[in-house]
Structure 1
Amino acid sequence: MKLLFEHVQIAKDRSWKGLHRNLSAIPFEWHYHPEYELTLTLGSQGQRYVGDHIAAYGDDDLVLLGPNLPHTWHSANAAPPSTNQETMRAHEAALQVAPNQTAHQAFVFWFTSDWINSVCRTMPELVGLENALRLARRGVKFDAQTARKVAAFAPDFDHGNAADQLIMLIEVLRTLMDATELSPLASERFDAAIPEHDDASRLGRVLDVLHGNYLEPVTSAWLAQHAGMSERTLRRFFHRHMGSNIQDYLMGLRLGRAASLLLSSDMPIYQVAEEAGFQNLSHFNRQFKRHRGLAPSQFRSRRIEPVKVSG
Structure 2
Amino acid sequence: MHKSIVREITPLTQNDCFTIFSRVKKEFNFPLHYHEEFELNLITNAKGAKRIVGDHIELIDDLELVLVGPNLSHAWFTAQCQSNEIKEVTIQFHRDLFDEKFLSRNQLSFIRKMFDQSAKGILFSKETAQAISARIVSLHQQTGFDSVMALINILHDLSSSRNIRTLSEATFNTGFQINFNSRRIEKAFEHMNKNYDKPITLGDIAKLVNMTEVSFSRFIKKRTGITFIDSLNEIRLGHASRILIDTTNSIAEVSYSCGFNNISNFNRLFKKKKHCTPKEFRENFSGTRTFF
TM-score, structure 1 normalization: 0.56
CA shift in 2, pair 1:252/1:52, >3 Å: farther
SS where residue 153 of structure 1 aligns? Answer: helix
Partner of 1:68: 71
**Equivalent of 1:59 in 58, 62, 72:** 62
Count of matched residue pairs? 206
Per-residue CA shift, 1:52-88, capped at 9, x if unaligned? 1111111221111111111101123679xxxxxxxxx
Give the letter aligned to residue 5 of structure 1.
R
Q: Deviations over 1:224-248 (max 9, x none)?
A: xxxxxxxxxxxxxxxxxxx769962
C-alpha separation in 2, matches of 1:73 and 1:188? 20
Give the distance between the partners of 1:287 and 1:294, measured in 2 at CA: 11
CA distance in 1, matches of 2:151, 2:52: 25
- Distance in 2 (alpha carbons) for counterparts of 1:9 and 1:138: 24
Shift of 1:128: 1.0
Aligned to 1:18: 20
Residue 272 of structure 2 corresponds to: 293
Contact 1:40 1:108 in 2 (8 A): yes
Which structure has more relative contact order (CA 8 Å, sep 6+)? It is 1
Please tell me whether the aligned partners of residues 22 and 89 of structure 2 are also in contact (alpha carbons under 8 angstroms). Answer: yes
Whole-angstrom distance in 2 between the partners of 1:22 and 1:34: 25
Q: For 2:138, which of 146, 156, 180 is the aligned residue?
A: 156
Conserved? CA contact 1:149–1:175, under 8 Å? no
Distance in 2, matches of 1:247 and 1:190, equals 6
State the shift of 1:288 in Å. Answer: 4.2
Give 5+ residue unaligned stretches, structure 2.
Answer: 178-234, 253-261, 277-292
Paired residue for 1:27? 29
Give the share of equivalent positions with the same residue, in percent: 21
Given the two structures, how large is their TM-score scaled by the length of structure 2?
Answer: 0.59
C-alpha deviation, 1:121, in angstroms? 3.0
SS in 1 for 2:99: helix
One-letter amino acid of the counterpart of residue 132, structure 1: M
1:162 aligned partner, one-letter code: G
Residues 40/136 of structure 1: CA separation in 2 closer, same or farther (3 Å cut): same
Pair 120,144 (structure 1): closer, same or farther in 2 beyond 3 Å: farther
Q: Assess, with a 3 A threshold, how the Cα gap between structure 1 residues 7 and 296 changes in structure 2: closer, same or farther.
A: closer
Partner SS for 1:179: coil
The yes-or-no answer on 1:125 pairing with 2:127 is no
